[in-house]
Structure 1
Amino acid sequence: MDATPVAPPTRAADARLDRIPVVTRSHRIWVALLGIFFTFDLVDLNTFAYVAPALRSEWGLSITAVGAVTSVSFLGMFLGGLLGGRLADRFGRRPTILGSAVFYSTFSLLSAVSVNVEMLAVTRVLTGFGLQAMTGVLLVYVTEMFPREQRGRYQSLTLALGLLGVPIAAAVSRLLVPIGPGTWRWVFVIGAGGIVGVILSVRLLPESIRWQVAQGRAEEAEPVLAKLESEARGILGRDLPEPGPAVETAESGNIRELLRPPYLQRLTVASAVMICLILGFYGFSSWIPTLLVEDGYTQTESLNYSLVLAIGAVPGALLAWPLVDRFERKTLILGISLVVTVLLLAFGISSGAVLVMVIGFLINMLMQMLVAVLYTYLPEVFPTRLRGLGAGCANSVGRLSGAAGAFIVGGVYSGLGYTAVFLYLALVILLLGTLLALFGERTTRRRLEDVGSAPEPA
């Protein structure tokens, strides 16, 4: 038993949290739990893309109908991100995560019993609502509860665990869809597995300490904070340094504050970058199975290639691990964007199974690396009282663009052809990196309170 005195709860809890320099046993448990949520989030998010070719055949859907279902899913995500972020700032990170996971799991099950495309569209809207309400808050949770020198690494690790859901969705689809009519329904059943994370998290996932401080409820954070301090002292073999001064005040944020300087510019930049990310990322991953079939590959070949491409997701997020806390995030994002731009252009003019799979694998891998770094960056630029709302708004605007993006890809393909789709995607990713490099904040290894509450130092 550690006999070192614990700082009294009158000391600023957020400052005490900042002095913990190591990842403890509790942190590792939280990573596993958040990884489960991310896994089934990404399983569910990718299910429609993998079953779309089968639905086109079984229900006689057009490319336009596939685009419509994809678009309404993004509309649900837009609304979910807005409401989820606001609920997280108002009622807490933990209840928002658990409630959203129950919500999207329920509607994923209902997707499995859809009798027509109209019912499926409704269930996908509501599934998307729950998915995005949860995803934005998961990012906020990692940002607030992990040591500042390592929060980027553990954001990438959490995402990497979650990205297991991408090859899981691809593999399940590859196994089930070709069996026969109606077997695509079981893919949606797998997507409802988020309920597993809820069951485990009821006892194991605490509320965010920073959120409790911002709400003037630091005494409620004391048991978890004291446990983290004790675990950290056990790892270090010495006492922790004295806490620094508190920065956050116990107050609630609101949308009006978010629309005033300095947060308006941050929200604008973050929203523009998320628009580019969604247009580029989902324009590639969601349409690849369908575009390959349209380009002459069989449905089985398309699913095989999609599975290979999907496997690149997990190592992609892990590629961010050694870099995300070492280099300035916005600079790293620019570098990744430039490489992805070149690869997308190459993919659009490539032919032959091996070349398509190799270049596609690299694109998917680096896209996920880009997502890991950007997901680390996004919640850092807002203060705790506005973090859920700010990150949620930026995420939501991005998701809303996905509704238009589904039609853009379909329109570009119909009007200009297969290669033009990848030229369009390359330009979008190039714009993403350029915008953030020019107008983004520096966040790497800075205190959250310093980044969120004050202008960037000269």
Structure 2
Amino acid sequence: MARGANAGPSYFDGTKIGNTQKKFLWLAALVYFFDQMDNGTFSYAVPALIKNWGITTAQVAHVNSLNYFGMFLGAVFGGWLSDRIGRKKAMLTGILTFSLGSLGNAFATSFPVMAGARLVTGFGVVATVIVAMVYIAEMLPSENRGRYQSLTIACGTIGIPMCALFARWVVPMGPETWRYVFVLGSCGIFLALLGFFWFKESPRWLVSKGRIEEAENLVEEITGQKVDLRAVSIKEVKKVGNIEALRVMFSKEYIKRTLVLGTLGLGINLGIFFIGTFYTTMLTKIGLPVATVLTIAAISDWGSPAGDLTSSFFVDKGGRKIPIVVFCVIAGALSIVCGMSTLPILVVITLTVHRIFRAGSLVMFWSYLAESFPTHIRSNASGFVFGSGRLAAALSQFALPVLWANYGWAGLNTINGLFFILPAILVLFLGEKTGKRTLEELNEERTGSATA
């Protein structure tokens, strides 16, 4: 199974997906299910909180900002922790964190407690996402890792519309029934126990720590084939901290990748989160009844799993970057069109299709990002890039009330559309093709040694 020393070890490349991999992919899908559910719980509760707690638009933006800031911290810390203690332990830590944060929301009795719990939830959600996207990239063959990433997330993001349907049913029942939405989100805590037994450590991470024999045994256990990983260079193992990750990211070998990926990540994150959790608030503000708003959310949220599923047919084509560009441009155009009408039927149609391409662009970006840096900094670098986008989303929330007051529904949707379109143009001309290439190949062309 091993390739020549110059090409580096193949790990799982050229092999079929085994039972062990299928098992952790299903578990990863369940993790994404609760992870993505927690991501949207607050937006479903907002109409009831505005009505019963009397919170303002500025307070909604403040909570969203704290949630996104927590995501930034989770991205950076999750990446660092993953490179320090391993993918498995870091993922289990993230699952426990976002589940407990959601439970804290369910029992919140004041606005400050609610805001603090949202920060913790955001931290855990993105810490889990960062580790999961790196883990899947490292544990699957290069021939179809993007497709399985998309399919796994497609199964997981069913949690978004399922939570919306649950909220549509339970929130109107009474002034305090919104709490059940957060209780549902906290059920992900039970997956941590299952993950303790089902998740295997990444062999690439083990190799990066010099644990060659352990990695070889694990690859053999998963694939049934022996592999020689002694050819792997571990000369960079001694430094895996945040400073070292930044040094490599902005070195002459990687600075172009870093800037292109950073710009794309910034655009997609802003495109999704700038007004993503503000949609229900905006629709309420333009005069739609709470029941209608929750119905629009329940329908349009099906666009997320549909988009992830759709992307699985395209993600491994065009060197990864071409489908990303196409999905981003379409998502941006549909956001602009959505702002042209306030009729519920037109809003729900354009918003649903927009979310199909929005979700597809994000999941393809995850694959694109995870395979663009060498193993010893992969989680750290992914965390910095992804986290920077969430930090920008956090800061953007402070501008939302002012922008809403001045530009309204149409203006915010237009700005949102440009967040997708402008970075896509940059990727079209400067982005690198990474699809269907081994992680070792991608790293070797930059460093001249197979350290991935």
Q: TM-score, normalised by structure 2?
A: 0.92
Q: Which of the residues 411, 418, 436 maps onto 2:409? A: 418
CA–CA separation in structure 2 for the residues paired with 1:243 and 1:350: 61
Checking the alignment, whether the CA contact within 8 Å between 1:13 and 1:218 is kept in structure 2 is: no
Q: Which of the residues 331, 346, 349 maps onto 1:340? A: 331
Residues 176-226 of structure 1 show CA distances to partners (whole Å, capped at 9, x for unaligned) of 110111111111111112212211111111000111111110212233311
The more displaced of 432-441 and 57-66 is: 432-441
Consecutive unaligned residues in structure 1, runs of 5 or more: 1-5, 234-239
Checking the alignment, whether the CA contact within 8 Å between 2:13 and 2:142 is kept in structure 1 is: no
CA–CA separation in structure 2 for the residues paired with 1:439 and 1:72: 33
1:134 is the counterpart of 2:125: no
Number of residue pairs matched? 440
1:79 is the counterpart of 2:73: yes
1:154 is the counterpart of 2:139: no
CA–CA separation in structure 2 for the residues paired with 1:75 and 1:284: 15
Spell out the pairing of 1:26-175 with structure 2 (5 A cutoff).
26-175=20-169
Question: What is the CA-CA distance between 1:243 and the residue it aligns to?
Answer: 7.2
Report the equivalent of 1:222: 216
Report the equivalent of 1:237: none
**Inter-CA distance 19–275: structure 2 relative to 1 (3 Å threshold):** closer
Checking the alignment, whether the CA contact within 8 Å between 1:18 and 1:147 is kept in structure 2 is: yes
- SS of equivalent residue, structure 2 residue 11: helix
1:315 is the counterpart of 2:306: yes
**Inter-CA distance 62–155: structure 2 relative to 1 (3 Å threshold):** same
CA–CA separation in structure 1 for the residues paired with 2:73 and 2:141: 31
Q: Which of the residues 259, 269, 283 maps onto 2:274? A: 283
Checking the alignment, whether the CA contact within 8 Å between 1:156 and 1:320 is kept in structure 2 is: yes
CA–CA separation in structure 1 for the residues paired with 2:417 and 2:63: 24
- SS of equivalent residue, structure 2 residue 282: helix
Checking the alignment, whether the CA contact within 8 Å between 1:289 and 1:306 is kept in structure 2 is: yes
Spell out the pairing of 1:344-363 with structure 2 (5 A cutoff).
344-363=335-354
1:301 is the counterpart of 2:301: no
Report the equivalent of 1:3: none
Letter in 2 for 1:23: I
Q: Which of the residues 418, 442, 455 maps onto 2:446? A: 455
Q: Which of the residues 380, 393, 404 maps onto 1:402? A: 393
Letter in 1 for 2:252: P
CA–CA separation in structure 1 for the residues paired with 2:101 and 2:172: 24
CA–CA separation in structure 2 for the residues paired with 1:16 and 1:376: 18
CA–CA separation in structure 2 for the residues paired with 1:246 and 1:330: 31
Checking the alignment, whether the CA contact within 8 Å between 1:166 and 1:310 is kept in structure 2 is: yes
Letter in 2 for 1:386: I
Letter in 1 for 2:189: I
Letter in 2 for 1:133: A
Letter in 1 for 2:276: S
Question: What is the CA-CA distance between 1:266 and the residue it aligns to?
Answer: 2.3
The more displaced of 364-373 and 282-291 is: 282-291
